[in-house]
Structure 1
């Protein structure tokens, strides 16, 4: 982080990289030419944060602006350069096609025409997976994000979603299992095993019957527990640990993003008995 900050202040090109479970994330800034023509055996999915991000793709020059999402198909040659003298900053996700295919369940891989999308479903799904660059992503959080991304890409590409028979009893058992595991790390594999369902079918079941993803449900129940513990007068660091958060800052970020107010301020404002 220190080197990246120094490079940013000096206007130098820089790259920040993290990797976990078949997914690689980068955040980068470039002036001029960033990359020569190359290709990956993964999807290259990104969000332009600042400037104009230009690249040759499918024999044409593409220009991605802030708010756009880029979706480059596996094994397609492309390069990367700044579209203006100001340079460009972006975040990119490199995800193995097999991960998306597992979530989709045997449909043709999604292809986004032109390599750039303005569809808000793509921007939201990709933004969730790229939101954390400096910290660890929980396994269940990443699996939820992959499912959401695969679903969005499939819809934006025009593929028809497959029909799946939903299992309410499996979803209910998963919900009960989540309630018993708020204070520890939980994986989608463990959750699926607890209710006798494969991981992606369970994800579809849970969303169908409870209106949200397993990780989102887990996060909200952790926040419910945290508010109860905070109201009892426990220190915030202790509350974070007892509620299953990685640390106090992790709890604060999620609490603020969910309720629009930091935990300490919420605690000062809340009235007894409410």
Structure 2
């Protein structure tokens, strides 16, 4: 695959906690930002550099990137021809559920590596891009990815049995946030949905998802905002319809999550890569 002449982004709709992206850049790509998801990708052409966990990294064509939830990183080209990459974003709760245990989320110490199994897995789920993944295809991908991440993880903490009652309650909380993300949500709402106090919700939520309920809420609002931007809606209207106080509030969170402003994202999404 050859790098494109211009910068571009293509992204599918988040379905079942999984979202796929294809993008290409020259020079600066992303400001420092973080996701509440795992980000697993492959450099398809060129070379991309980024700072991650305090160290500069470079991923060349064919190499895999494994970025963990809530870890700050940026992005830039390390090659004159730019770079093209695929990246899949997966909610940590899916990885935890697929693992079938209550231990820590898998942590892969190498942010850049060569891994034939992960490369093959990513290639398989991009065969249909940008068409949506079939539910069974998505579930098989998550199960296999969780297996591969755990096999490569340096986390050896003792595993403990999952609490099915707590898992069910957290699932209700996550479903409520997804459904009501555009509305004001307060702790009392989550307590009513889960049947737990707010502090227990926060502890359990972070253990399973690697982030807080509030950051998860902001993430769902940003996903909705990005979808509306792709549909060509004005930015002020997008902010109003996705639960943000105003456009500046949305822009601040958008840049912190995606490493660019909503306006730049809209321009890249509209570009044909030339």
Q: After TM superposition, give the deviation of residue 158 of structure 1 in Å.
A: 4.3
Q: Hey, what does 2:144 align to over in structure 1?
A: 148
Aligned mates of 1:73, 1:86 — CA distance in 2: 28
Find the residue that maps to 1:121 and give its secondary structure. Answer: helix
Q: Does structure 2 retain, via aligned residues, the 8 Å contact 1:26–1:93?
A: yes
Instruction: Tell me the residue number matched to 1:136.
Output: 132
Q: Aligned equivalents of 2:104 and 2:116: distance in 1?
A: 22
Q: CA RMSD in A?
A: 2.3
Q: Which of 80, 91, 95 is the matching residue for 2:75? A: 80
1:94 pairs with 2:89: yes
Structure 1 residue 122 displacement after superposition:
2.2
User: Shift in Å at residue 159 of structure 1?
Assistant: 5.2
Contact 1:93 1:130 in 2 (8 A): no
Q: CA deviation at 1:15?
A: 0.4
Residue of structure 1 aligned with 2:120, choices 121, 124, 131? 124
Runs of at least 5 residues in structure 2 that lack an aligned partner in the other structure: 162-274
In the aligned structure 1, how far is the partner of 2:116 from the partner of 2:160? 24
Deviations 1:154-197 (A, max 9, x none): 10114579899xxxxxxxxxxxxxxxxxxxxxxxxxxxxxxxxx
The corresponding residue for 2:34 is 39
For 1:146 and 1:127, how far apart are their aligned partners in 2? 14
C-alpha distance 94-101 of structure 1, shift in aligned 2 (>3 A)? same
SS at match of 2:138: helix
Q: Does residue 18 of structure 1 match 2:12?
A: yes
CA drift at 1:58: 0.8
Partner of 1:64: 59
The CA deviation at 1:42 is 0.5
Shift of 1:121: 2.2
Q: 1:125 to 1:108 in 2, by over 3 A?
A: farther
SS of the residue corresponding to residue 51 of structure 1 reads: strand
The DSSP-based 3-state class of the residue aligned with 1:40 is coil
What are the equivalent positions in structure 2 for 1:189-228 lying under 5 Å apart?
none
* Contact 1:122–1:156 under 8 Å retained in 2: no
Rounded to whole Å, the distance in 2 between the matches of 1:131 and 1:115 is: 24
Aligned to 1:49: 44
Q: Larger relative contact order (C-alpha < 8 A, sep ≥ 6)?
A: 2
Q: Trace 1:182-193 onto structure 2 (pairs within 5 A).
A: none
Aligned to 1:268: none
Work out the number of aligned pairs and report it: 156
The 1:32–1:75 alpha-carbon spacing in structure 2 relative to 1, beyond 3 Å, is: same
**Cα deviation digits, residues 3-47 of structure 1 (max 9, x gap):** xxxx94xx2100001022211111001000100000010011111
Preserved contact between residue 29 and residue 88 of structure 1 (Cα < 8 Å): yes
SS in 2 for 1:134: coil
Contact 2:18 2:138 in 1 (8 A): no
Structure 1 unaligned residues grouped into runs of 5+: 1-6, 165-274
